[in-house]
Structure 1
Amino acid sequence: MSTHPATAAKPQEPPGEPNYLIPFLGIMGAMLLAMLDGMIVGTAMPTIVDELGGARDLSWVVTAYLLTSMITTPLYGKLGDLFGHKTMFLSAIGIFLGGSVLSGAAHTMTQLIMFRAIQGIGAGGLLVCGMALIGHVIPFKKMGSYQGISGGIMGAAMIGGPFLGGLITDHLSWRWAFYINLPVGAVVIAVISLAIHIKREKRPVKIDYVGAALIAVIASALVLFTSWAGDRYDWASPQIIGLGMLAAIGIGLLVLVERRAAEPMLPLTLFQNRNLTLAAAIAAAHGFVMFGAMTFLPLYQQVVQGASATNSGAQLFPLLAGTLVTSIVVGKSVSKTGRYRIFPLLGFAVSIAGLIMLATLAGDTSKLVSALFMLVFGVGLGLIWQIPTIIAMRSTAKSQLGVASGLVRFMQSVGGALGVAVAGAIFVHGVGSARPTDGRYLETYANAIGGIFLWAIPIAASGLVLAWLLRESPLNDDEDVNAPASMAREQEAALAAH
C-alpha cells in the first residue's frame, strides 16, 4: 500500500440551466466513442482479415478489447472517487485515442490485437467516469431527462454503428474505423477541460492494489469463460470449468481482502444498500437479454430474410425507435415525478412480450411482422435502460458515485457477455448439422434463433422480480440532489459498522 494525494468532490450548488447542456454533450461525446467503436469495427472485420490475414485470431480483436475494458471499468470507478472523475475521464480518453491511432496503423493481426487491448484500457473509463461526471454536473431532479437522452444516444450508436462502419469501410478504409475517433476525441477533451469545473479537497488515500489485482483476475476469467464456452471449448471442458472455478475463487478472496482494505476497490458496504444491489442485478439481467438477443437478430435478417450486412442494420430501426423514444420519455418522467420503480417493472413485462413474439420468428415471417416484434422488444428495453444508473446515483453519496456507477456498468457487461455466450450455445445446438444445401435449412436457422429469445424469457422474468423488490424513495425538493439525507445516513452507518 502507498499513500498519494487524492481529491474528493465537494457538494456545490447546481449550476444554472444554461450550463448543463455543453458539459453533458462533451461527456456524451466521449461515451459515444466507446459505444460506436465496437459497432463500427465489427462491420470492418472481414476487410481487416483480407488485408492483415490472421483469420484464426480474429475473435481476439474483440476479446482483447472486451477483456481490458471489463478489467478497468470497476478500477476507474474507484480511482475516479479517489483522484477525481474529471482527471480519470481525460486520462481514459487519452489512452483510448492513443490505442485508436496504433490500431489504425497496425500492419499485422498480432499488432492490432495488442493495440485493441490498449484501446480497451481507455474505453473502460469512458462510460463509468462519464456517468459519474454527469452525477456531479447535473442535479438529480434533472438527471432523468439527461439520462433518457443519453440512453437514446447509446441506442442509436448500437444500431447505427454497423451502418456507419459499412460506409467507412466501403468508401474510405478500415483504418478510418479507428482514425475517426481522433477529431471527435480532440473536441471532447477541449469541452471537458473548459466546461467542467468540480471543486475538490485533498485527502490522503491508500491504493488497494491486491483488490485491483483480484478484480482483474475475476474479470479476465469471466471474459474468457463467456468468449470460449461453447465456441472454442465445450461447456463441460476442463478449460471452461477451470475458468469458472477461478472466477468463483477470485470472488471469495476479493470479499476477504476488501473487508480489511483501508480504501477497498469495491467497498462491500455498497452491497448493504438494497436498491444499489438490486440495480446491479437488474443491469445484469437487462444486459443478458439485450445483448444476447441483439447479437443474433442481424443474422436472422441476413440469412433468413436475405438482407445485406448494411441493410440488416437499417432493418433494426424499429428496435432503435422503441428504445430511443421510451428512454427519453422515461427520463423526463423520472425528472418530473422522482419515481422510477414502475419503469423496470413495465420494461421487463413488455420485454417478455417482445421475446415471446420474437421466439415465433420463422422462415416465412414477413419483414413487417418482424419489425413489429422488434418495436415491442425495443420499447421494453428503453423502459429499463437508464434506470439502474439512476438508482445507483440516487442511492449513493457523491464520494462513491464512481464505484457505484462502475459496479452497475460492470454487471451489465457481465450479463451481456453471458447472454451472448448462452445465446451462441443455444444457436449452435439449434442449427445442429443443418447445411445451406438442406431443403429446410432456413426454417431450421430461424427456429434456432427463435430459441434464443425463448430462453431469454426466464432471465427477463427474474429481472421483473428484482424490479418488484425495489424500494422507491421519491426525490423531495429539500433533499440533496445526489444523495438524500436518509440514504447518506445509511451509508455512514454501514461504514461505521464496517
Structure 2
Amino acid sequence: MTARPTAAPTPPDRAGLPRLGVFGLMLGIFLATLDGQIVSTALPTIVGDLGGLEHFSWSVTAYLLTMAAATPLWGKLGDLHGRKGAYSNAVVLFLIGTVLCGLAQNMGQLIAFRAVQGLGAGGLMVGALSVIGVLVPPEGRGRIQSMVGVMMPVAFVGGPLLGGLVTEHLDWRWTFYVNVPVGLVALLAVAKGVRLPAQRVPGHVDYVGAALLTSGVLALTLLAGWAGTTYPWLSWQISALAALVVVSLAWFVRVERRAVEPITPPRLFARREFTLAQVLSLLVGAILISVVNYLPQYMQFVQGASPTVSGMLILPLMLGMLSAQLTTGRLMDRGGLDRVVPLTGSLATVAGALLLLLLGTDTPLAVASALTLVAGVGIGMLMQSTLLTTMNNADPRDMGAATGTVTLVRTIGGSLGVAVLGAVHSSRTSGVLAGRLGGDTEQRLTIGGELTPAALADMPREVRDAVGQAVSSGLHGVVTGAALLAVCAFATAWFIRAAPAARPSETPAAAEKGAVRSSPAD
C-alpha cells in the first residue's frame, strides 16, 4: 500500500496522529455534541414557538433515529472506501441539515430536517473514532480520548450557555446556524491534517442489513413511545409494531451472518467484553439523552430561569461528565480497571438520579443546579469506559464497524429513552395540568402552542403553580426511570472481566495490508 508523499507533514502527536488532524477530528465530535447542548436549552422555546408541546420528544427522537440508522453505514463506508472521505461527507450532510433546521416554519418541517441532520451526525463520531482507532495504538487511545477535553469544555459547558444566549438575545434559529463555521473549520483541518491513503476494499455495503436495522429500530422506538399512551397495549397498532420489530431484527441477524461485509460484523460479539460494553452503551445513552433534554425544561418552567440561565444551571452536570471522562481515560490506560470504572460509574449515576428526585417547585435555585453534579460524574464514567472497552476489543480491520456499533447502540438507547421516558413525562405533566386546571385548559396549553417559558410569566399565578407542579412531576418520572436503568448498568458491569492493559495492535500499515488496494490518496 502506498500513500501520497508529503513535503512537510504536520508534526505528529506523540500518539502518532498529526496535531492538526487531531484538532479536526475532535472538532467533528465537538460539532455533534455542540448541537445537542445548544439545542437542549432552546427546545422549550422552539417547540412553544412552532406549536405542539406533545411533539417535544419527537424533535429529539427524529434526530437520534436517523443518527442511529446512519452510524453503522458511515462506519462500514469508511472501512471499505476510505475513513477520511466518509468523515468529510458526513460533516457536509450534517451542515446541510443544520441550515434546513434553522429555516423550519413548523414542527413537521423541524422534525424532518432534524432527521436529515441526524443522517450526517451519524458519521461524525464514528468517523473520528475510526481514524483514531486505526492510527493510534491501544496504549495511547485513552490519552487521545482524554484530549477530547481540549475541545469538549466549550461544547459541554459553553453549549448550554451559548444556546440560552442565542435564544434569548437573537433567535432560536441561530442555535443551528452557529454550527456552520465550526463544521467548515473541521473540514479544512481534516483535509490538511489527516494523511490516509484512499482505500478500496473489495466488498459492498450491506444496504439490506441497514434497511432492516432501520425498520426494527424505528418500530421499536414507536412501540416504546406509543404503547399504553397513544394506543392501548393490546391494540392492533401496537401488535403490528411488535411484529415488525421481531421480524426486522430477526431477519437482520440472519442477513448479517451471511453478508460478506456486514455493517455490524457478528464476530465482534464473540468477545464478551465487547458485548457487555454495548449493553452499557445502550443504558447510558438512554439516561444521558433523557436527563439532558428534560432538565432545561424544569429549569425554565419551574425555576423561572431564562434560556441563558437554564444553561448555566446545568453546568454542574456537564462539568461532572467532562471531568469524569478526562480522568477515566487516563486511569483505564493503566489497566485492570475495566470492571471497576463502570461499576463505580453506575453507582454514581443511581445516586445522582435519586438526588434529582429532590427537585420540586420550592427547591432553591442553587441547590437545584448543584444536585445535577453527581449524575454527570456517573454518566461520564460510564460513557468513557464503554467506548474504551469497545475499541480495545476490536481488531483494526473492524475499527469503523466497532466504533459505529457503540455509537449506534448509545444512540438507540437515547432514542428509546426519550421515547419511553418522554411518554412518562408527557403523561404525568398532562395529568397534573388536567387535574389542576381542567381538560380544556390543559389541551390549550400543551397542544395549542400557548405554553412557552416567556408566555408563562404573564399567566395567572394559579396557572404558573399548576405548570410548575406538572413539569416537576414529569421530571420525577424521567429521573426515576434513569435510576432504574443505572441499576441495570451496575448489574451488567459485574460480568466484565478486568484486562491488564489494552492489547497490542498492528501498525496501521499492517492492519490494512492485503485487504486494501491503493488508489490516489485522499
TM range (shorter): 0.7 to 0.9
Corresponding residue of 2:278 = 280
Q: Distance in 2 between matches of 1:361 and 1:152?
A: 32
Corresponding residue of 1:411 = 409
Deviation at 1:310, TM superposition (A): 2.3
**Distance change in 2, residues 1:425/1:52 (3 Å):** closer
Q: Which has the higher contact order (CA 8 A, sep 6+)?
A: 2
Deviation at 1:397, TM superposition (A): 0.6
Deviation at 1:463, TM superposition (A): 0.7
**Please, which of 161, 164, 167 is the counterpart of residue 166 of structure 1?**
164
Q: Distance in 1 between matches of 2:343 and 2:507?
A: 23
Does residue 346 of the first structure (1) align with residue 344 of the second (2)?
yes
Percent of aligned pairs sharing the same letter: 40
Deviation at 1:410, TM superposition (A): 1.3
Does residue 304 of the first structure (1) align with residue 305 of the second (2)?
no
Corresponding residue of 1:454 = 480
Contact 1:156 1:324 in 2 (8 A): no
Q: Distance in 2 between matches of 1:172 and 1:411?
A: 36
Deviation at 1:90, TM superposition (A): 0.9
Contact 2:161 2:308 in 1 (8 A): yes
Report the secondary structure of 2:201's partner residue: strand
AA of the residue aligned to 2:484? P
Report the secondary structure of 1:206's partner residue: coil
- Tell which deviates more after alignment, 301-310 or 54-63: 54-63
**Please, which of 374, 377, 390 is the counterpart of residue 375 of structure 2?**
377
Does residue 471 of the first structure (1) align with residue 497 of the second (2)?
yes
Corresponding residue of 2:194 = 196
Q: Distance in 1 between matches of 2:378 and 2:180?
A: 35
Contact 1:392 1:401 in 2 (8 A): no
**Please, which of 13, 17, 25 is the counterpart of residue 14 of structure 2?**
17
**Distance change in 2, residues 1:94/1:329 (3 Å):** same
Report the secondary structure of 1:359's partner residue: helix
Aligned ranges 1:44-443 → 2 under 5 Å = 44=42, 61-105=59-103, 112-150=110-148, 157-158=155-156, 160-199=158-197, 202-226=200-224, 228-229=226-227, 232-233=230-231, 237-337=235-335, 339-431=337-429, 432=431, 433-435=434-436, 437=462, 442=468
User: When the two structures are superposed, what TM-score results if normalisation uses the length of structure 1?
Assistant: 0.84
Contact 1:226 1:417 in 2 (8 A): no
- Tell which deviates more after alignment, 64-73 or 394-403: 64-73
**Distance change in 2, residues 1:107/1:309 (3 Å):** closer
Contact 2:436 2:466 in 1 (8 A): no
Report the secondary structure of 2:363's partner residue: coil
Which ranges of structure 1 fall in alignment gaps of 5 or more residues?
1-5, 9-13, 486-498
Corresponding residue of 1:3 = none
Show CA shifts across 1:343-365 (max 9, x none). Answer: 11110011112222222333333
Q: Distance in 1 between matches of 2:483 and 2:53?
A: 35
Q: Distance in 2 between matches of 1:115 and 1:103?
A: 5
User: When the two structures are superposed, what TM-score results if normalisation uses the length of structure 2?
Assistant: 0.80
Task: Give the superposed CA RMSD.
Answer: 3.4
Report the secondary structure of 2:211's partner residue: helix
**Distance change in 2, residues 1:428/1:68 (3 Å):** closer
Show CA shifts across 1:296-335 (max 9, x none). Answer: 2223323333322321221111112211112111112223
Deviation at 1:164, TM superposition (A): 1.6
AA of the residue aligned to 2:217? A
Show CA shifts across 1:101-155 (max 9, x none). Answer: 4444556665555443332221111111121122123332221123234378557
Q: Distance in 2 between matches of 1:456 and 1:56?
A: 21
Contact 1:270 1:276 in 2 (8 A): yes
AA of the residue aligned to 1:209? Y
Q: Distance in 2 between matches of 1:30 and 1:285?
A: 24
Show CA shifts across 1:381-428 (max 9, x none). Answer: 122121111111100111101111111111111222222233233334
Contact 2:91 2:120 in 1 (8 A): yes
AA of the residue aligned to 2:185? V
**Distance change in 2, residues 1:183/1:305 (3 Å):** closer
